[in-house]
Amino acid sequence: MAPMKRLLAVLTVAVIAGSMVVAQTPAPVPHPGIKLSLDDLHKQMFHVSAGRRLKPKTWPNNSRVAVALSFDVDNASAALARGNLNYEVISRGEYGAVDGLPRILRLLEKHKVPASFFVPAVSAALHPKMIPDILASPLKHEVGVHGWIHELLPAVNNEAEEQRLLTQAIDHLTKAIGRKPVGYRAPSWQFSQWTPGQIKAAGFLYDSSLMASDDAYEILIDGQPSGIVELPIERIVDDFPYFGGNADGSNPTPSAVLEVFQSEFDVAYEEGGLYVLTMHPHLTGHRSRVAMLDKLIQHMKSKPGVWFATHEDVARHVKGASQATEAPRH
Ligand SMILES: [Zn+2]
């Protein structure tokens, strides 16, 4: 074939191949919601939503505010789940087991404050001393479920596979703590469409992955009461956006974070509410940040009527006091 003819033939094939690719790949729909009916949008909006507000008239011991400190013991599990074997990342996670968790446990001991620890089962299996260390405290810290390997459930995107991972995680933690865990927190706080049904079927007392209110509430699944207590979290009261993720330790001063955490507590105190704080041993377990947490707890303890409790204790209290709640909102 002459060079010009050969070139034309190649170009023709390329154009045909290109058009085939275009024909096979549907155009991206940036706003699928604009095509949906209100009925469809209602179903999507309220597949998982906020039901009864579970705000008790009083907290135990006539306290004014409930403080539930939580630590997600991710360490390197999220990196391993994604196959990220960059040892800068892995060792940063390892720090959580080596120095972060022990330092946090010492601080909680110093202040005599209990906390809840949400542990991916793989994280516990790779550092098997962590759970015995947590449970050795006389403060009766709680251990809850945080996935098998910090899998991102929407990315798993498979109902049976998600169920397998949840069952494995519950079985592993049940053996490690000597009883069935009652609390669930989704890895990265992300549910799939199947998560609410699976954690309900597993019999969890509470979840702590959603953020539709400052107060505890009952989760509705497709508009129906689930019986699961939600203890809401928030990115504002989470160390990750400040010290992890894109920030990656670049936040120059923990005192700026302390200011946010403390202001959130002060308003919760004024309103007689619930204050849930999420932290990670591999992030907050560092020296300057435990010093910040020390100051925060000191500030809380300087006020009368602060009830420090595990998530389990808070969930049991608000569920028991649910007759003092308002009507469903949907
Ligand atoms: Zn996590």
Q: What is the pLDDT of residues 15-51, one digit of tens each?
A: 444 444 455 667 777 899 999 999 999 999 999 999 9
- Is the pLDDT at 3 greater than 60? The verdict is no
Distance from the alpha carbon of residue 66 to the mean position of ligand 1, in angstroms: 23
Helix (H, G, I), strand (E, B), or coil: what is residue 314? helix
Are 144 and 185 within 8 A, CB to CB? yes
Q: Cα–Cα distance between 149 and 162 in angstroms, integer?
A: 11
Q: How many angstroms separate the alpha carbon of residue 94 from the centre of ligand 1?
A: 14
Contact in structure between 88 and 134 (CB atoms under 8 Å): no
pLDDT in tens, 264-287: 999 999 999 999 999 999 999 999
pLDDT value for 325: 46
Is the pLDDT score of 175 beyond 90? yes
Taking the centre of ligand 1 as the mean of its atom positions, its distance from the CA of residue 26, in whole angstroms, is 34
Q: What mean pLDDT, rounded, does the chain reach?
A: 91
Specify the pLDDT at position 250: 79
Q: Is 217 exposed, middle or buried (0-12, 13-18, 19+ CB in 10 A)?
A: buried
**How many Å apart are CA 249 and CA 195, to the nearest integer?**
31
Q: How far is the CA of 24 from the centre of ligand 1 (A)?
A: 38
Q: Which residues contact 72 (CB under 8 A, 6 or more apart)?
A: 117, 118, 146, 185, 278, 279, 280
Separation of 127 CA from ligand 1 center, angstroms?
16
Instruction: Tell me what the mean pLDDT of segment 240-251 comes to.
Output: 84
**How confident is the model at residue 24, as a pLDDT?**
66
What separation, in Å, do the N-terminal and C-terminal C-alpha atoms of the chain show? 72
pLDDT in tens, 80-111: 999 999 999 999 999 999 999 999 999 999 99
**Residue 62 contacts by C-beta under 8 Å, 6 or more apart in sequence?**
305
Backbone angles phi, psi at 163, to 5 degrees: -65, -40
Is residue 76 over pLDDT 60? yes
The domains of the chain, with CATH numbers, are 51-324 (3.20.20.370)
CA of 74 from ligand 1 middle (Å) equals 5
83 CA → ligand 1 middle, Å:
16
Structure confidence by residue, pLDDT tens digits, 138-170: 999 999 999 999 999 999 999 999 999 999 999
Q: How many CB atoms lie under 10 A from the CB of residue 104?
A: 25
* Cα angle for residues 179, 183, 187 (degrees, 5° grid): 120
